[in-house]
Chain A
Amino acid sequence: MASKVLQKANSFYDQYFRNPSADKKMPHYCPGCGHGNVHKFIAEALDDFEVADKTIFISPVGCSVFAYYYFDTGNIQAAHGRAPAVATGIKRAHPHSIVISYQGDGDLAAIGTAEILHAANRGENITVFFINNAIYGMTGGQMAPTTLIEQRTTTSPRGRNPHNEGYPVKVAELISQLQAPVYVERVALFDNKQRAKARIAVRKAIKNQVENLGFSLVEILSPCPSGWKMDPVDSMKWIRDVMLPQFPLGVYKDLTKEVKPYEVPEFAPSAKEIKELIDIVPDSNKKFKKSKVIEKYINPEIKVAGFGGQGVLLLGAALAQAGMLEDYHVSWLPSYGPEMRGGTANCHVNVRNIPVGSPVVSNPTVLIALNRPSLEKFEQDVEKDGLIIFDSSLIDLDVKRKDVEALPLPATQLADKLGNTRTANMITLAAYAAYTGLFSKETLYETLKTAIKRRVLIDINKKAIDVGYEFGLTHRKN
């Protein structure tokens, strides 16, 4: 019977050429199986709305894994339970298409619970058909999440026991609780009247998508004579007498009259637009001549450390930015994650004449310490003859080592005098640049364009650079 039924709709292939069996007209389902009925309703609806050409059918894992034998549409076969995620991907790729996600109860209500819940919750503009046959058909009659209490299956041989396996999952009820879905109905296939209702529900669920209304799900109580070890006639009775009381039929949700259709605007920017949109057009194309660096400060390997809020990472990034503007090879590497949670932060910066090998600075030639713990922690790591610059207004401590050079800099005090404590980092940057001759003032000004995102703060930071630069120049020893 099923084969005759399947041939009717145009949206089915005439011959099931993908089916390896010799008979290319026979479907692979068992006699009396509900899958064939639902396939037929779907194909007829696709015919009616003339959308077969733009339909993409997602076959699940389960007995309907080979649904693509039948539907003369685009076809994708998905992993077990993942059809709604795959449907999401293809629908987002081609919003004009009609995407059908077809799933069994193991597929949808066990392994794929997260995927269906979230596809529904996002209101994906797709149509889901959910075949509830209270059993795993394909794998030979094991318990499904929808298996009824006391129902015997090969993995609930003494009957489903709620204390061990819990209760049947009620999908239509669950999904209808979410805000986004526009249409959720449960139907059954046990007699002609119910099948007619099922056909209407299937049609409506597809129509909703044709009209871009949003997420629709139809749960179909469907016979599995093989899994239930019953003949087709008894199977129908079992749906009516045993399943129905547990899975009440009806429309659980219908917002189709209320919602506005989805619109997906198209936008294909030009090459020039793309570059601007993704921020890869540099703030400045200016090139800056390398400054005259005092010999011993060439190729610095810098560590900047301090409290999280002191702008430590920004100071480091500004160093790297300035280096890049002067055509050095640079790298900047932050401490990240939990390291930062204690409130301290540090970063490693290289400014080199030749390509940077390791970006990791374990033994800095320059340590910039903005708070006491940083000085205490990193002083011992500094290379012999290295330079330590520290904020002497916050650190009441001297550099202990005698084999390094120390430059105490009252950065916070100077910043306060300027009227903005937060400029201490830029004062430090400028003092270091001037003291070593690493960067010119012009380069530092230009660096601010990238380093300081809030335009109103540029002026004060420029002043900070003046102050710091002045300090660095006047304290030069070489």
Chain B
Amino acid sequence: MAKILMKGNDAVIRGAVLSGCRMYFGYPITPASEIAEAAANYIPKVGGTFLQAESEVAAINMVYGAASGGMRVMTASSSPGISLKQEGVSYAAGAELPCVIVDIMRGGPGLGNIAPEQGDYNQIVKGGGHGNYKCPVLAPNSGQEMCDLTRMAFDIAEKYRTPVYVLADGYTGQMMEPVEFGEPLTKFPRQDWAVYGDAVSKHNLISSIYLDPEELEEHNLKLQKKYQEIEKNELRYEEFMLDDTDYVVMGFGIVSRILKTVVEKLREDGMKIGLLRPITLFPFPKGKIADLSERVKKFLVVEMNNGQMVDDVRLAVMGKCPVEFYGRMGGVVPSMTELYEKAKQLADSTN
């Protein structure tokens, strides 16, 4: 099928509908409102439900309800709204409910601004709400991935019975790029754990309560095992010019796009530099980073935040080589030239 030029935020809803999502609950917030607007336009057209909730708290709990019914369901928001949803996400993780949450990050803390930041990394990748849970996190960097990874998020959510995040920034949401679409899913298998309002499913209980500490520990162990499975099966990353490289730059989302151009330019200059872009932030490419740290001279991690993913990189590198960090905050997007200079300096300071 030919491609269509489309905004990332619009591509999210196309991906969702194609994957069989027929329910959307959300609350407007810039720069994620276009997702709600696209959902309001398209989801009812294909026979689904769009509802603007009274708050992000209500929205995520509506998601919890619909997910309990075995439906493919989603919500989207931006950083302050995601903070509000965390209680509900913790409940969904505890009750093992599949759902998809899209976070189009903006500047923080507090009301901050609506410019593209990546300050939610810790909030999203490390759990976010209370308790011992994690959610798979997919970090698109293009219009095509906004569609494809949203679609994939529904599959992962259902396969492992877990909330899944799509974590993007204002730029990836606002950007228009050509997007190619696959075939829609039209058959939805019954989930044997879900509550359908019929005799077959009426013995099912959706709950996150385990009063007895030992039982709750057992439940938690089960969750941890699930996370290990996810780490084993769902890791995704992009490698660019890493084979012979001396230096590795890392970034996710929009930053990775800028870094790719930087790597191209520095390669033209003769520098042996490559890009490692995590596509999934949980699971994180720990093994790949550890392998690289055995043979490269240095890492540079670039984020539009105060240095959050870099902690995970350092954990994986385990001191085998230096890891530098360069960050911009407040919604300042680093320029190509800025990052070019930064990356170039990697060579100056090593030997």
Contact = CB atoms under 8 A, between A and B. Distances in A.
A457 interface: no
B178 interface: yes
B333 interface: yes
Interface string A312-356: 000001001100100001111110111000000000000000001
Contacts of B57: 82, 85, 114-115
Q: How large is the interface on A (under 10, 10 to 19, 20 to 34, 35 or more residues)?
A: 35 or more
B186 A274 contact: yes
Contacts of A122: 51
B236 to A, nearest CB: 18
Interface string B62-97: 111111111101000000000000011001000100
B298 interface: no
Contacts of A117: 54
B67 A77 contact: no
B198 interface: yes
A98 to B, nearest CB: 7
A89 B63 contact: yes
Given A268-B47, A278-B45, A357 B260 contact: yes
Interface in A108-161: 114-115, 117-118, 122
B171 A92 contact: no
A271 B55 contact: no
A475 interface: no
At the interface, is chain A mostly helix, strand, loop or mixed? mixed
A388 to B, nearest CB: 20
A370 interface: no
B261 interface: yes
B65 A89 contact: yes
A250 interface: no
Interface in A58-97: 58-59, 65, 68, 72-79, 82, 85-94, 96-97
Contact of A88 (B51, B70, B202, B212): B51
B258 A358 contact: yes
B261 A358 contact: yes
A419 interface: no
Interface in B14-45: 14, 17-18, 23, 25, 30-31, 42, 45
B1 interface: yes
Contacts of B159: none
A359 interface: yes
Given A317-B5, A331-B175, A357-B264, A86 B51 contact: no
A99 B183 CA distance: 34
Nearest to B16: A278
A97 B201 CA distance: 12
A122 B64 CA distance: 18
B90 to A, nearest CB: 9
By CB atoms of chain A within 10 A, which of B30, B195, B199 has the most?
B195
A90 B207 CA distance: 14
B257 A74 contact: no
B211 A52 contact: no
B176 A78 contact: no
A451 B1 CA distance: 20
A336 B58 contact: no
B30 A92 contact: no
B315 interface: no
Contacts of A260: none
A292 interface: no
B112 interface: no
A275 interface: yes
Contact of B261 (A55, A284, A330, A357): A357
Contact of B197 (A65, A97, A317, A320): A97
Nearest to A77: B207
Interface in B89-138: 91, 95, 113-115
Interface in A284-331: 284-285, 317, 320-321, 324, 329-331
A317 B202 contact: no
A94 B73 CA distance: 13
Contacts of B170: 336
Interface string B196-208: 1111011011111
Contacts of A285: 2
Given A118-B58, A280-B181, A324-B178, A332 B65 contact: no
A332 B177 contact: yes
B68 A363 contact: no
Given A89-B64, A93-B23, A360-B336, A317 B176 contact: yes
A275 B4 CA distance: 12
B53 interface: yes
A332 to B, nearest CB: 4
Contact of B186 (A59, A97, A270, A331): A270
Contacts of B1: 280-282
A476 interface: no
Given A92-B66, A274-B184, A336-B30, 16 more contacts: A74-B195, A75-B195, A76-B206, A88-B51, A89-B25, A89-B65, A91-B65, A93-B69, A115-B57, A115-B61, A267-B46, A280-B14, A332-B176, A338-B113, A338-B114, A363-B335
Give the 5 A-B residue pairs with the shortest CB-CB distance, closest first: A89-B65, A97-B197, A357-B261, A267-B47, A93-B69
Interface of B: 1-5, 13-14, 17-18, 23, 25, 30-31, 42, 45-47, 49, 51, 53-55, 57-59, 61-71, 73, 87-88, 91, 95, 113-115, 170-171, 174-178, 181, 183-184, 186, 195-199, 201-202, 204-209, 211-212, 254, 257-258, 260-262, 264, 333, 335-337
25 contacts: A18-B205, A53-B198, A76-B206, A79-B91, A85-B62, A86-B61, A86-B65, A88-B51, A88-B58, A88-B62, A90-B66, A93-B23, A94-B69, A94-B196, A97-B196, A114-B55, A266-B47, A267-B47, A268-B186, A279-B4, A282-B3, A282-B4, A331-B177, A357-B257, A363-B336
